[in-house]
């Protein structure tokens, strides 16, 4: 599982359509992100050897239909769906298509609108059965109450993580939630209670958007002449059995899944958590980001709260998390979310993230969890 990639893979282009609630058709946003990624790479669509379209909310043929807008080149188009980790899995498929020698250039595109999707649970019996009651807000809130019980985490710590990510998004033109003032712990706590202890300003922004990335072999990347951003790890896992395993209603699998996927990624990259300059995670709720500090090895178990208090995970800190605002404020449309993390990481590693630039960033990790039990970790590094 952790063998080196058969050949080196580089991100040569990224593009996005801003995340938001404007009601623009998802495939139109996907076209914008796709063309932006092509322009960024400096290539035309016929050079793309394979396209992986990630979406949750579209119909059976949406991915192939959407590709017709980019051009009828005959390339293979594959629909990828892995819940919240859809875009990350699509990116992983593109990486492996190049690494394995199937193609020299591959593109991953994510486009979705969370507001137009059905919720979790079985359709047609809403509210009746035991499988219909568990929503992400409740599932991760239970992580939070357990964390409060075991470690003594305060609601202010959760609010501080959310406020940090809102403030990171203020400098991101692609973000869904951009406030004109500094977000405070008090304002986060004063917002509507969704699922104790999570308030609405702690919950990820559900909206629409699109993001894409183009990966290429070393030969192609060198020919294009842009900054060499290498994918040094691409790992994906489902869950393994753990003590207290929850089979029914668990939105994602045991948190051990993140620890294991990250371990695979570190091994593949030949790197460790100390080598990272910045991290993007599935911060659908702040307890996740807090727990991922520990599961990704950034700090010891139970020490995440201190990391928040010291500001080490804020922009300007030792290891900034969710530098573009994260799911909390950049937004979480579904399919594009993981690719927005790649977009942000590539901008940062190129030194092109503007006011939110992480100084000297060379290595970044992207982590996504997906419902049903998916975990995807990529590590990107400026060569």
Partner 1 sequence: MLPTDPHLFRLPAEGEDRPRLLGSYAPESDLHFWPRRKRCPVTRTPVQDVELGPVGTLYAWTFLHVPRMGKVSFGDTGGYAVGQVDLPEGVRVQAPLMGSQQDWSIGDEMGLTLFPVGTDDDGQELVTFRFEVVR
**Sole binder of partner 1 in the list 33, 56, 144, 213 (CB under 8 A):** 144
| Residue 206-225 contact track with partner 1, rule CB under 8 A, x = bound | x-------------------
Q: Does 124 engage in binding with partner 1 (CB under 8 A)?
A: no
| Residue 222-261 contact track with partner 1, rule CB under 8 A, x = bound | -------------------x-xxxxxxxx-----------
Cis geometry, peptide bond prior to residue 197 (ω within 30 degrees of 0):
yes
- How far lies 276's CA from each of 220, 273, 297, 345, 382, in Å? 26, 6, 11, 11, 12
**Sole binder of partner 1 in the list 142, 151, 185, 271 (CB under 8 A):** 142
Q: Does 194 engage in binding with partner 1 (CB under 8 A)?
A: yes
- Segment lying near partner 1 (by CB under 8 A), choices 193-201, 313-321, 343-351, 361-369: 193-201
Q: How far is the CB of 153 from partner 1 (least distance, A)?
A: 13
Q: How far is the CB of 197 from partner 1 (least distance, A)?
A: 8
- How far lies 33's CA from each of 70, 113, 167, 233, in Å? 11, 14, 24, 24
> Which residues, 6 or more positions from 243, have their beta carbon under 8 angstroms from its beta carbon?
none
The token duo for 235 is 């790992």
**Sole binder of partner 1 in the list 11, 36, 37, 141 (CB under 8 A):** 141
Write the DSSP assignment of 44-62 as a string of letters.
-GGG--EEEEE-SSS-TTH
Residue 254's SS3 state is coil
Q: Does 204 engage in binding with partner 1 (CB under 8 A)?
A: yes
> Which residues, 6 or more positions from 104, have their beta carbon under 8 angstroms from its beta carbon?
49, 98, 216, 217, 219, 220
Binding residue count for partner 1, defined by CB under 8 A: 43
The residue among 340, 349, 223, 209 whose CA lies nearest residue 282 is 340
Contact positions toward partner 1, by CB under 8 A? 114-115, 119, 125, 127-131, 133-138, 141-146, 149, 192-198, 200, 203-206, 241, 243-250
């Amino acid at each position: 599982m952790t063998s080196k990639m058969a050949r080196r893979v580089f991100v040569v282009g990224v593009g996005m359509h801003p995340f938001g609630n404007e009601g623009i058709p998802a495939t139109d946003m996907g076209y914008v992100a796709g063309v932006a990624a092509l322009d960024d790479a400096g290539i035309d669509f016929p050079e793309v050897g394979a396209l992986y379209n990630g979406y949750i909310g579209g119909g059976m043929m949406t991915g192939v239909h959407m590709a017709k807008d980019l051009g009828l080149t005959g390339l293979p188009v594959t629909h990828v769906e892995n819940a919240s980790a859809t875009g990350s899995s699509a990116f992983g498929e593109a990486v492996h298509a190049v690494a394995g020698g199937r193609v020299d250039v591959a593109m991953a595109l994510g486009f979705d609108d969370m507001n137009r999707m059905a919720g979790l649970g079985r359709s047609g019996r809403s509210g009746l059965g035991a499988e219909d009651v568990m929503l992400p807000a409740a599932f991760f809130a239970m992580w939070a109450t357990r964390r409060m019980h075991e470690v003594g985490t305060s609601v202010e710590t959760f609010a501080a993580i959310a406020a940090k990510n809102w403030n990171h998004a203020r400098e991101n033109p692609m973000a869904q939630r951009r406030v004109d003032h500094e977000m405070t712990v008090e304002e986060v706590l004063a917002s509507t209670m969704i699922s104790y202890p999570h308030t609405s300003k702690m919950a990820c922004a559900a909206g629409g958007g699109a993001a894409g990335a183009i990966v290429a072999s070393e030969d192609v990347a060198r020919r294009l002449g842009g900054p060499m951003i290498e994918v040094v790890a691409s790992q994906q896992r489902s869950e393994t059995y753990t003590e207290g395993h929850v089979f029914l209603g668990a939105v994602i699998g045991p948190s051990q899944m993140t620890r294991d996927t990250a371990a695979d990624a570190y091994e593949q990259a030949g790197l460790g958590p100390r080598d990272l300059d910045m991290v993007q995670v599935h911060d659908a709720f702040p307890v996740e980001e807090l727990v991922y500090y520990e599961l990704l090895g950034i700090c010891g178990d139970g020490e995440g709260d201190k990391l928040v208090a010291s500001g080490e995970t804020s922009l300007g800190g030792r290891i900034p998390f969710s530098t573009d605002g994260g799911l909390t404020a950049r937004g979480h449309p579904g399919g594009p979310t993981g690719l927005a993390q790649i977009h942000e990481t590539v901008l940062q590693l190129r030194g092109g993230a503007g006011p939110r630039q992480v100084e000297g960033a060379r290595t970044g990790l992207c982590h996504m969890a997906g419902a049903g039990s998916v975990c995807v970790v990529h590590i990107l590094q400026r060569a």
